[in-house]
Structure 1
């Protein structure tokens, strides 16, 4: 049995429950037609759009890019020869660990939630796991008992908010402080200049990520058990080179040091998480939108550039009428767009905008 409000459900269950909850909510829903095909390209047609798919075409007045997180891409320095090696895994979400059951020395690139998932999946007797990231920070854990809510407010520049967080955590549980901050994060982000956003990403984002995107108690126990037992080591440093032979030869430089270290790994798994720099995406629809100038990358590398309501800006910076995005693709404008409360609110606002244009 779990304490009410502290059960960590799979996201697929939330999708089901939210759909059931919406069935009786006011307006009669319009018919939903699910098409089992890949959207490959898009063209403007009259007052709407034509989407070419792997199985035909679809006409639409309004188009919403609801692609979720984009699949991972390799970090800089990983060349084609390494990517082609059976000892390298670019996308851990599509990896069968049974294909690497003989690997004894494994490198995980990254130390966030994706790394935790991979480490627990790859755990087996006699296997040594090493996680390498720039800062070597591990996601913090949720409390087993909900903390007392924090009622304070946050505002100002990144430096001012950091001072406010430090003051708040001196009198309240840090989890409650970050939960409160999350509810204000969108407004704070939108109030910052591009320079302030850039400073946050450069200096404070790693701290935000590990405190905001936390481990549920079970995985937290597993990963700390692995650390205590020597099954997993987390290092702070930068990859400098990878070479593919019968294994992967890795060169990396410890944080704060000038000299690189070389080591051989039977398996290297990219755990850097979802792709954020949209210009590197190989998603056909994304590539087509960028190539045709219907959209453009966010200047800070946080998805697509959108207006205040999620409408795409085209290559010239003008609104791409009838073309919208939702979710992580819009992080450049709204920052937190991965958690259920954020996505639910954004979906509601975007639906209202579209319905006002097409009642």
Structure 2
């Protein structure tokens, strides 16, 4: 007999940090609502980013920057103070800094998000239930949304929210596969890395923060051999420091609009800071608050210019590495164990002794080959939903319920998060938040960005 359809006011598709933060904000609002959070993992609040169990896999922002409460920037600092005071995370004293400047392990941050959800549930007339399954199809009509799960069950919601989080390239099946993931070791799987010969050569594709995590994993697994890193521009993330405040020069001058104008002014401000003996990260950090405005007002041509010419440097300078991880990478580089080269990945072949990859080094036309005992895919996040070979994204595209966002980054939506269908119509029932809106705001993955989105979307959903 077919199981009856379960009903809810809001279906939150994805129970990582984005979905959990939205649930918290809905719980805090007056009224009584039934909220179902659909998440295949056993716990809410963790998702891909905060399911890490190794203490060495830390946030890349300090506690003062990572509050899940948009109304209290010190929320994580306050929670950590209590957590450490109660005996949690005894290793924190090794960083020798105030609690606000600590870089907590991502697993502990996931615990923080879970506790804030539990507290909101205890004080609310609304209910949140975790449905442990994966959504594989969605239908939307004028009155409701109907989500089909991988176990055949169906859920009906007055509204549905795509809070799917990020699709790490290392863990995401792709519609056009190069075979990279099938041959690669998971960047965060320390146990799998313990099976490698400790002195063997490991190859890494990509040089961003996922690569930093992979190097930490290798170190914790006892690997002591060479690490060869390849990325198109050969840029490493800078280390995150705690610079002093700097005047918000973009707030004072809204005439700075194009990527070229912005780049020139940021460089000028950084030179001014250095001339005064101030860390260049100080003026750069003031840009963060204006990224959404700058990106949304830019033309399609300007956005393409930014992605093509500025993005690699923006990523390496802005998405910076936590200090302890950066120290490890710097030490291995100085020892000659870690090398980084600018090269594009062109393919691979597996063998009994490991893997060989084909590369085109920057400035060269010939294809060269490099061999190692293991390969790690650290190429970052897959934002193009057309390339994500998962049932729900593919079905949403097939049904025309979504369309790619600007530059194929995530999906298109209006400023409130209401999704645009294939014909450009704004949905009254289907919404998105967090990483799926990368193309709308450029920076739509940081905790503070998602926290602000969660509060605004919760208010909209309760007033429609």
Is 1:59 the counterpart of 2:156? The answer is yes
Is 1:3 the counterpart of 2:110? The answer is no
Is 1:350 the counterpart of 2:457? The answer is yes
Tell me, in whole angstroms, the C-alpha distance in 2 between the residues paired with 1:163 and 1:76. Answer: 39
Evaluate the alpha carbon distance shift between residue 350 and residue 149 of structure 1 in structure 2; reply closer, same or farther with a 3 A threshold.
same
Tell me, in whole angstroms, the C-alpha distance in 2 between the residues paired with 1:178 and 1:58. Answer: 45
2:442 equivalent in structure 1 = 335
Q: Which runs of 5+ in 1 are unaligned?
A: none
Q: Find the residue that maps to 1:356 and give its secondary structure.
A: coil
1:131 equivalent in structure 2 = 229
The range that moved more, 252-261 or 54-63, is 252-261
Evaluate the alpha carbon distance shift between residue 46 and residue 298 of structure 1 in structure 2; reply closer, same or farther with a 3 A threshold.
closer
1:141 equivalent in structure 2 = 239
Give per-residue Cα distances to partners, 1:228-270, cap 9 Å, x unaligned: 1122111111122322232322221221122232221221111
Q: Find the residue that maps to 1:293 and give its secondary structure.
A: coil
2:268 equivalent in structure 1 = 167
Tell me, in whole angstroms, the C-alpha distance in 2 between the residues paired with 1:94 and 1:282. Answer: 22
1:110 equivalent in structure 2 = 206
Tell me, in whole angstroms, the C-alpha distance in 2 between the residues paired with 1:29 and 1:94. Answer: 40
2:368 equivalent in structure 1 = 261
Say which of 346, 361, 367 aligns to 1:240. 346
Evaluate the alpha carbon distance shift between residue 305 and residue 213 of structure 1 in structure 2; reply closer, same or farther with a 3 A threshold.
same
Evaluate the alpha carbon distance shift between residue 94 and residue 325 of structure 1 in structure 2; reply closer, same or farther with a 3 A threshold.
farther
Alignment of 1:95-244 (within 5 A): 96-98=191-193, 100-102=195-197, 104-123=200-219, 124=222, 126-143=224-241, 146-154=242-250, 155-172=256-273, 173-244=279-350
The range that moved more, 14-23 or 36-45, is 14-23
2:413 equivalent in structure 1 = 306
Evaluate the alpha carbon distance shift between residue 95 and residue 293 of structure 1 in structure 2; reply closer, same or farther with a 3 A threshold.
farther
Report if the CA contact (8 A) 1:295-1:320 is conserved.
Answer: no
Alignment of 1:45-84 (within 5 A): 45=141, 47-55=143-151, 56-72=153-169, 73=172, 79-80=178-179, 83-84=181-182
1:294 equivalent in structure 2 = 401
Evaluate the alpha carbon distance shift between residue 61 and residue 77 of structure 1 in structure 2; reply closer, same or farther with a 3 A threshold.
closer
Report if the CA contact (8 A) 1:38-1:53 is conserved.
Answer: yes
1:92 equivalent in structure 2 = 187
1:318 equivalent in structure 2 = 425
RMSD over aligned CA atoms reads: 2.4
Q: Which runs of 5+ in 2 are unaligned?
A: 1-95, 251-255, 274-278
What is the CA distance between 1:45 and its match in structure 2?
4.4
In the comparison of the two structures, how many residue pairs are matched?
A: 349
